[in-house]
Amino acid sequence: MRTEHEMMSMFVDFAVKDDRIRLVTLEGSRTNKNIPSDQFQDYDVSYFITDMDSFKENDHWLDQFGKRLMMQKPEDMELFPPELGNWFSYIILFEDGNKLDLTLIPCDEIDDYFASSDGLVEVLLDKDSRIKEEVIASDRKYWIKKPTAREFDDCCNEFWNVSTYVVKGLARKEILFAIDHLHEVARPNLLRMMAWQIGSEQGYSFSVGKNYKFIDRYLPKEDWEALLSTYSGKSYQSMWESLFTCYELFRKYSKAVAKDLGYAYPMYDHSISTYTDKIYEAWAETK
């Protein structure tokens, strides 16, 4: 596997030699000092260019970056419509295991790029000295944020409301419907609430990572194990158990946040829990 130094030198050297490329930036986890480096980190590189069509007319110029195992061009797909406007990207997995997410951006959109940046950016090459101020990569935009009273109530409302869809799916024996609502809506709000509680205890000056991937560092072992247990959806019974565990965890963490921040705790917790128990008992009788 090529080293980080080899890969970065290759991307910059290519840009240096190509007059169409005027500015090169690096984004993502490789700019984040709080993320441990490993072989699975993508190289998120952007080339700011003067002639988009000349790059898009064929893919041969990409060959010099290495042999490709797989490539996707998100802006050249029909099933999944493009989302980057005038930008064009390539997601490439090389045979040696390195992965490149390369984006081509018109030079006249440099200001838009920096305005929409998440802050995790480093300037690798600036041929025309377009960037006047020093750019320092920061993950501040991903730090846990103190919720407002309205945000807290919205999170509670969404969790308890969507949990009734999980209940309905299980009662109807529509397990995929139930799984989707638990995994895609209810649990993400549980994780959000957990992060808020961590922030209220330890301060709002750090991130728990994309998809909450570092949240286990801040949770009691028993709560982490309980959370993991909710990812089991192999049967209706296990899904009911996962839902009830999510209830317990959400109740614990939302009450802690409400107490720490002086927010009102929603009374519909009791109503929805009672409703769920009633439906579960009816379901259990039909097993």
pLDDT of residue 66: 96
Question: In the chain, pLDDT over 70 holds for what percent of residues?
Answer: 100
When pLDDT is averaged across residues 232-237 and rounded to a whole number, the result is 89
CA separation for the pair 247, 272 (Å, rounded): 10
Amino acid identity at 197: Q
Does the global pTM surpass 0.85? yes
pLDDT of residue 232: 83
pLDDT of residue 50: 97
CB atoms within 10 A of CB 83: 9
Round the average pLDDT of the chain to a whole number and report it: 95
Q: How confident is the model at residue 177 (pLDDT cuts 50, 70, 90)?
A: very high
CB 34 within 8 A of CB 139: yes
Residue 270 phi, psi (nearest 5): -65, -40
Q: Which of 218, 191, 216 is nearest to 205 (CA)?
A: 218
168 has pLDDT over 90: yes
When pLDDT is averaged across residues 227-241 and rounded to a whole number, the result is 93
Q: Which of 79, 76, 98 is nearest to 87 (CA)?
A: 76
pLDDT of residue 165: 97
In the numeric block, which tokens belong to residue 34?
């709080």
When pLDDT is averaged across residues 58-83 and rounded to a whole number, the result is 93
CA torsion through residues 75, 16, 127, 43, sign = positive
Domains of the chain: 4-141 (3.30.460.10), 144-285 (1.20.120.330)
Q: What does the DSSP 8-state code read for residue 174?
A: -
